[in-house]
Structure 1
Amino acid sequence: MSRRRSRGPVGLLAVLGLLLTLFAASPALAASYRYWSFWEGTGGKWGYATQGPSTARPADGTTLGFRFSVSKDAGAEAAQPRTGADFEAVCGGTAAAEGKKRVALVVDFGVPGDAPAGETPPQEAPRTACAQVAPEATAAEALASVAKPLRYNGAALLCAISGYPKSGCGEPIADAEPQASASAAAPSSGGGSSGGASSGGGSGPSAGLLAGVAAVAALGAAAVWQSRRRRR
């Protein structure tokens, strides 16, 4: 009987230790993502898009932005395109055409520090283009008219613009990796997103991870208390 009593707490603590290890290795620590974010311009400023480019149908005179970066949050806190949302600056020299709408596009390939291993951004400065497309065209179709080839994954997430990057799609990035965009970026494209995976937000461990660790610690303390109680 005494042997069984001594093994119980030890076995429970071993299981708790394993759970703590699993919590520590969980994706919750990967609070950043490398992806193309999607933005809409309003009054010269960028706002994170509320729809993805494959469903958004911009009106004539709209300005859209796309930014590739490593961002802590897949949302309004992501890195924005590093140039203003100025329709006239992009499409001012393009005459309106009957049966077409004009959409100003800003494509920011980001900074070298955010590029996947072995790759570099196609150009340093953001690329701009005025797309003339059918009135019912989506943002994705407007983008495809000026920045092919595009690459998507099975979930219709925009993975590459003009072939960049060559691989990968919204993958989580370990916090240990360098993240240049946090300090090198002004606005960024995200939103209803080119896709952009969601992250827990904030700059520290996620609330789920902290809660898990706390639960494990509480169970461990209970196991020790129970072991001492049995020995009395």
Structure 2
Amino acid sequence: MTAPRAVLAGVFTAVLATVFTAVPAAVGAAPAHAAGYRYWSFWERDGDRWTYATQGPGTLRPEDGDVLGFRFAVSEDSAEADKPRGTGDFEEICGGAEAGEGGKRIALSVDFGTRADAPGGEEPPRGRTECARVPGDGTAADALAAVLKPLRYNSDSLLCAIAGYPRTGCGEQVSDPAAKTADASGGSAAPEDTAASEDGGPSAGLVGGGAVVAVLAAAAVWQARRRRS
């Protein structure tokens, strides 16, 4: 039975090779789209540039004369996030406003984004700049609440809407942030169903599953013949 065993061993090895060659190829054939999120990013003005805030608006306590920015957009992460448009100049925004006793002035630059970033059926408002006057221990969230209500937060304290925009949604996932193409309603493309390949063929999971079944069948035959011998 040496020869039949050798033949079956060769078949078993060949099927295994097919599995580990075909499955990665099938996975690679599927469209690769990085996931992004539609949300309000939070920025601080550092000299003449925007830097991504390392704290949330609810915990950051800016100082008198600081400039903060907010931008609504679809992005993958903080490294790829769209910055607020505009110069963010404190004197232009707050002018001759007085802080008041025990208070401070915070310049806010709010960019509602583009139509491509907007949820379906919504139109982004024009960008706004506001000078918020808050108590000395006030947070960035306090500054927003002073001049840009209504605000909306979710149960995890994520900022969902500024000045009522957007009306719905909060940090929802978008399948391909690089393809932010607005439709006629001003919304972005719908998330893509990744369960099937681009040409409508079977998913990589189905391809891999069929190959694994073949491996198991070959193994079963081999073991049965070994027992009979």
Q: TM-score, normalised to structure 2's length?
A: 0.66
- Find runs of 4+ consecutive structure 1 residues off by over 6 angstroms: none
What is the deviation of 1:110?
0.6
Larger relative contact order (Cα-Cα within 8 Å, sequence gap ≥ 6): 1
What is the deviation of 1:95?
3.0
Q: Distance in 1 between matches of 2:62 and 2:118?
A: 29
Larger Rg: 2
Identity over aligned pairs, percent = 55
Contact 1:46 1:84 in 2 (8 A): no
Residue type of the partner of 2:163?
Answer: S
Q: Give deviations 1:38-68, integer Å, cap 9, x for gaps.
A: 1111012111111110111111111100011
Q: Distance in 1 between matches of 2:94 and 2:114?
A: 25
Aligned to 2:117: 114
RMSD: 3.2
Q: Give deviations 1:172-197, integer Å, cap 9, x for gaps.
A: 0122895159xxxxxxxxxxxxxxxx
Contact 2:74 2:177 in 1 (8 A): no
Aligned to 1:205: none
- Is 1:65 the equivalent of 2:55? no
Superposition map of 1:128-167 within 5 A:
128-167=129-168
Residue type of the partner of 1:227?
Answer: A
Across the two proteins, how many residue pairs are aligned to each other? 175
Q: Give deviations 1:102-139, integer Å, cap 9, x for gaps.
A: 1110010111111111110122xx21111111000010
- Is 1:102 the equivalent of 2:76? no
- Structure 2: tracts of 5 or more residues without a match: 1-14, 183-203
Q: Give deviations 1:184-218, integer Å, cap 9, x for gaps.
A: xxxxxxxxxxxxxxxxxxxxxxxxxxxxx79x95x
Q: Alignment partner of 2:105: what SS?
A: strand
What is the deviation of 1:220?
6.7
Residue type of the partner of 2:134?
Answer: V
Q: TM-score, normalised to structure 1's length?
A: 0.66
Q: 1:80 aligns with which of 77, 83, 86?
A: 83
Q: Distance in 1 between matches of 2:178 and 2:49?
A: 30
Q: Distance in 1 between matches of 2:91 and 2:138?
A: 20
Contact 2:132 2:143 in 1 (8 A): yes
Q: Distance in 2 between matches of 1:180 and 1:76?
A: 21
Q: Give deviations 1:127-158, integer Å, cap 9, x for gaps.
A: 11111110000100001111000001111110
Q: Alignment partner of 1:112: what SS?
A: coil
- Structure 1: tracts of 5 or more residues without a match: 1-8, 182-212
Q: Alignment partner of 2:116: what SS?
A: helix
Q: 1:38 aligns with which of 35, 42, 67?
A: 42
Residue type of the partner of 1:121?
Answer: P
